[in-house]
Amino acid sequence: MTKIIGLTGGIGSGKTTVANEFVSLGIPVYITDQEAKKLMQSDIVLNQIKEEFGNAIFEEGVLVREKLSEIVFKDANRLAKLNSIVHPAVKQHFKKWLLEHQNDPFVIYESAILFESGSYRECDFVINVVAPLETRIQRVIERDKTTREKVLERMKNQWNDEEKSSKSDFIIENTSMEVIKLEIVKILKFLRINQIKS
């Protein structure tokens, strides 16, 4: 049976870099944020979002993600509500995706809110990507063309590194690409040995 390897890390930790490295090695990777963005264009999800957040976050019938982000990252309760709409749709989509990869020994399930959403319970192993706080803040400011305050607001809605690491099986310290590659080699070696045993 295909093993599910959860991949998580705080905002700006470098999860995408790690995910891309797994992809380059031929490991199937499911990126929840990318899939959630697609699913948020479906009528079912859009209608639920409109019902909860109103018409103000739409322009000519199109969801303006920036306006939605402004609301949810300032209010943990509204963020939880959005997740309760989007997460079940992602979960359902992942189940279908998993069927397409049932002959793979393991797949990577990448999610920024792996622990917060409870999805980690469905993973056989979990990898947490960590990086120094200031490095993470600077990465997000540059990537999203945003402010330090907004980055810190988003960080408040996520578990901290210590909480995530305490529940993870592997920790990748994103200090350089070389370190990432070495850690991934070790993890894959462990997973392949574990696959033979099971």
Query: Which positions make up the binding site?
Result: 12-17
Burial class (CB in 10 A: 0-12, 13-18, 19+), 194: middle
- Tell me which H or E stretch contains 173: strand 170-173
**Strands of 22-67, DSSP E:** 29-31, 58-59, 62-63
Tokens of 46: 């859009």
- For 160-181, b/e burial (b = at least 16 CB within 10 A) is ebeebeeebebebebeeeeebe
Of 66, 65, 71, the residue nearest 46 (C-alpha) = 65
Q: Which residues are annotated as a binding site for ATP?
A: 12-17
15: Cβ–Cβ under 8 A, 6 or more apart, which residues?
7, 8, 9, 110, 112, 129
CA distance 154 to 108: 24
CA distance 98 to 64: 30
